[in-house]
A and B are shown apart, each in its own frame.
Chain A
Amino acid sequence: MHLASPSVGGEAFFRLPQKRYFMTTASSSFIDRRTVIDWLGIAPFMIFALMFLIVPTLYLVMGAFFTPDGQFTFKNIADLFTPTILSAYWISIKVSFASSLGGALIGFFLAWAIVLGGLPSWIRSGLLTFSGVASNFAGVPLAFAFIATLGRTGLVTVFLRDWFGFNLYSTGFNLLSFVGLTVTYMFFQIPLMVLILTPALDGLKKEWREASEILGASTWQYWRMVAFPILWPSLLGTSLLLFANAFGAIATAYALTGSSLNIVPILLYAQIRGDVLHNPNLGYALALGMIVITGLSNILYIWLRMRAERWQK
């Protein structure tokens, strides 16, 4: 926000001479026309946002509170708390939570390694470039990659069987399950964490480390009492972002498991395709539940990021 103030000052400076020279006679109508033109400038954008983002979403949100014949009701929301739907939300939350936690932990260690680990600088730039690619490598192809690796005839599965006589699938592991989906999602979660957390770790000042060492703090004490309190808003905030990211994802899960794993986006997909819940307005409520969960985690993320930025100036 601090960026906005100079441009506001510039605006006033820009307008002042015009007022003096042109507006002595018909000042009020000129202001009006100018204001109208100002607002017309972003009208295309606003119309676009209304038509293709806001109104469609509001339509679903409203629909969640009505019966098919247009009566106001809370029944759709109440119907979300039935075993099938509840279990879909529960699996979705579990997968999103596990993959964001795993992504956050491994991502943190990778970011730590390239920022503070004293590694050659080419590793840093290499990892950051790769993260940019891998965080965008999601969807259907990602599912294919993991089927080819950890599927029943995948590289790792075959390698373990032929070289170590170890049958991965006899341990109860299944790629088309909670664990499999979590491991797959981490492929785009970890890079996202690395990309967001690296600047935060860069913001840890050397002086803080030196000061704590001079005062006799151990490495553990430095991390626990100095670095971590500064980093936790970034860490937690990014984890929430990862959570929302995984919660809304469908393509990977759909290509990986078909419809065998009952997560919310897949249930909604089936509902849109063929009204499997036998109540279109319950489908709206399902969508509303998704918006609420991703919305809440994003709001918390934004709030935490504002807290985190205090230390990055």
Chain B
Amino acid sequence: MKMTKFFAWLAIAIGLIYFFVPLLGTFEFSLRMRRGEYSFDAYGSVFSDVQFQQTFGFSILMALFTIAFGMLLVVPTAYWVRLRLPQMRPVVEFVTLMPLVIPAIVIVFGYLRLYNSSSYIPFTGSTFGTNVLLVMSYITLSLPYMYRSVDTAMRTIDVRTLTEAAEILGAKWPTILFRCIFPNVMSGVLSGAFITFAIVMGEFTMAALLNRPAFGPYLQLVGANKAYEPSALAVIAFAMTWLSMGLIQLVSRLSKMAPTRRA
């Protein structure tokens, strides 16, 4: 038993070193911009960069559109499959998992060939069209996470009874969906939203190949041209991921507490 404990601590120690040294290294490196002393100069330089502000803003905007349209697509589908088409469940689930199987670079390659400016649906012919295509590609990438978190939340509520109750009270479909189903799966919607946010903010392939000024390609550009700013950006990106995941934990904890509070 003593041996077990020793090896367990050893495993944790190795894991701790492997995971914390790079984070420490990044943080330390980001402070080294001023010669001979530690300073936050690199962060100042990052935040005052106009391109940082623009690309960051652009990615946030894209993330919000992705979340909004993604949820409008995923929640009604998950609801409908549970209510009316349970036989289609395996098919829909399989489709939502496909983005994990097909690499992002392959998907965007297909877009570029299929939707170029000389095709029937020339998405890439205009800036607006390309932005729409970018949002669609982000929805595709986050589909597995969004669908699963919404579907998990839907498992805990009785969709059929809720729908019947709403119908008896005279509710129409929009009312049922937006005032009955959405609020009840809010925990799933929120955790799906946060993970989508984390994915979109760091995404590189889609934005780079569609030539949009997003945060991911900007990061790559800075990495190729500057010394200390990349580390500062990595620290910022890690903090953002941490924040998104922390919010997911918070939401799931709150939603677990909710039923007991009601009772």
A: which residues have CB within 8 A of B?
1, 3-4, 7-8, 10-11, 14, 38-39, 41-42, 44-45, 48-49, 51-57, 59-60, 63, 106, 109-110, 112-114, 116-119, 123, 127, 129-130, 132-134, 136-150, 153-156, 186-187, 190, 244, 247-251, 254-255, 258, 265, 268-269, 272-273, 283, 287, 290-291, 294-295, 298
Chain A residues near B108 (CB-CB < 8 A)? 272
For this complex, into which size category does the number of interface residues on chain B fall?
35 or more
In the complex, what distance in Å separates the CA atom of A110 from the CA atom of B15? 7
Task: Say if the beta carbon of B73 comes within 8 Å of chain A.
Answer: yes
Given A48-B73, A60-B109: 15 more A-B contacts, CB < 8 Å? A1-B90, A7-B86, A41-B76, A42-B80, A44-B76, A52-B111, A110-B11, A117-B4, A117-B8, A141-B202, A142-B234, A190-B15, A250-B204, A258-B224, A265-B105
Q: Given A8-B86, A187-B19, A251-B216, A144 and B26 touching (CB < 8 A)?
A: yes
Closest Cβ–Cβ distance, residue B45 to chain A (whole Å): 15
Task: Say if the beta carbon of B171 comes within 8 Å of chain A.
Answer: no
Chain B residues near A155 (CB-CB < 8 A)? 21, 24-25, 28-29
Q: Given A112-B8, A156-B21, A254 and B106 touching (CB < 8 A)?
A: no
Would A38 and B84 count as touching, CB distance under 8 A? Answer: yes
Would A144 and B223 count as touching, CB distance under 8 A? Answer: yes
Chain A residues near B224 (CB-CB < 8 A)? 255, 258
Closest Cβ–Cβ distance, residue B87 to chain A (whole Å): 8
Would A248 and B114 count as touching, CB distance under 8 A? Answer: no
29 A-B contacts (beta carbon < 8 Å): A8-B86, A11-B84, A41-B80, A49-B95, A54-B98, A56-B107, A59-B113, A106-B18, A113-B7, A113-B12, A117-B5, A118-B4, A119-B9, A133-B245, A139-B203, A140-B204, A141-B202, A141-B233, A144-B230, A144-B233, A144-B234, A145-B22, A149-B25, A155-B29, A248-B105, A248-B106, A291-B103, A294-B101, A298-B101
Chain B residues near A119 (CB-CB < 8 A)? 5, 8-9, 12
Q: Name the prevailing secondary structure of the A interface residues.
A: helix
Closest CB pairs A-B (n = 6): A117-B8, A56-B110, A248-B103, A149-B25, A155-B25, A148-B29
Residue from the list B88, B209, B230, B234 in contact with A42, Cβ < 8 A: B88
Task: Say if the beta carbon of B180 comes within 8 Å of chain A.
Answer: no
Would B25 and A118 count as touching, CB distance under 8 A? Answer: no
B: which residues have CB within 8 A of A?
1, 4-5, 7-9, 11-12, 14-15, 18-19, 21-26, 28-30, 73-74, 76-77, 80-82, 84-90, 92, 95, 98-114, 136-137, 139-140, 143, 155, 160, 164, 195, 198-199, 202-205, 209, 216, 219-220, 223-224, 230-231, 233-234, 237-238, 241-242, 244-245, 248-249
Would B112 and A148 count as touching, CB distance under 8 A? Answer: no
Most chain A CB inside 10 Å of its own CB: which residue of B99, B101, B137, B224: B101
Closest Cβ–Cβ distance, residue B212 to chain A (whole Å): 15
Chain B residues near A258 (CB-CB < 8 A)? 224
In the complex, what distance in Å separates the CA atom of A291 from the CA atom of B99? 11
Would B21 and A255 count as touching, CB distance under 8 A? Answer: no
Would A53 and B102 count as touching, CB distance under 8 A? Answer: yes
In the complex, what distance in Å separates the CA atom of A10 from the CA atom of B163? 13
Would A190 and B18 count as touching, CB distance under 8 A? Answer: yes
Chain A residues near B104 (CB-CB < 8 A)? 248, 250
Would A59 and B85 count as touching, CB distance under 8 A? Answer: no
Residue from the list A116, A127, A145, A154 in contact with B4, Cβ < 8 A: A116
Would B111 and A56 count as touching, CB distance under 8 A? Answer: yes
Would B231 and A148 count as touching, CB distance under 8 A? Answer: yes
Would A63 and B113 count as touching, CB distance under 8 A? Answer: yes
Chain B residues near A1 (CB-CB < 8 A)? 90
Would B105 and A268 count as touching, CB distance under 8 A? Answer: yes
Q: Which residue of B lies closest to A49 (CB)?
A: B95
Closest Cβ–Cβ distance, residue B153 to chain A (whole Å): 15
Closest Cβ–Cβ distance, residue B133 to chain A (whole Å): 8
Residue from the list B81, B84, B103, B137 in contact with A52, Cβ < 8 A: B137
Residue from the list A39, A42, A53, A154 in contact with B140, Cβ < 8 A: A53
Chain A residues near B110 (CB-CB < 8 A)? 55-57, 59-60, 287
Residue from the list B74, B107, B137 in contact with A57, Cβ < 8 A: B107
Residue from the list B21, B87, B114, B237 in contact with A141, Cβ < 8 A: B237
Would A118 and B160 count as touching, CB distance under 8 A? Answer: no
Chain B residues near A110 (CB-CB < 8 A)? 11-12, 15
Would B29 and A154 count as touching, CB distance under 8 A? Answer: yes
In the complex, what distance in Å separates the CA atom of A291 from the CA atom of B106? 8
Q: Which residue of A lies closest to B78 (CB)?
A: A45
Residue from the list B1, B5, B92, B209 in contact with A269, Cβ < 8 A: B209
Q: Which residue of B lies closest to A119 (CB)?
A: B8
Closest Cβ–Cβ distance, residue B197 to chain A (whole Å): 11
Closest Cβ–Cβ distance, residue B225 to chain A (whole Å): 12
Chain A residues near B23 (CB-CB < 8 A)? 145
In the complex, what distance in Å separates the CA atom of A268 from the CA atom of B1? 52
Chain B residues near A57 (CB-CB < 8 A)? 102, 106-107, 110
Would B103 and A145 count as touching, CB distance under 8 A? Answer: no
Closest Cβ–Cβ distance, residue B54 to chain A (whole Å): 17
Chain B residues near A59 (CB-CB < 8 A)? 110, 113-114
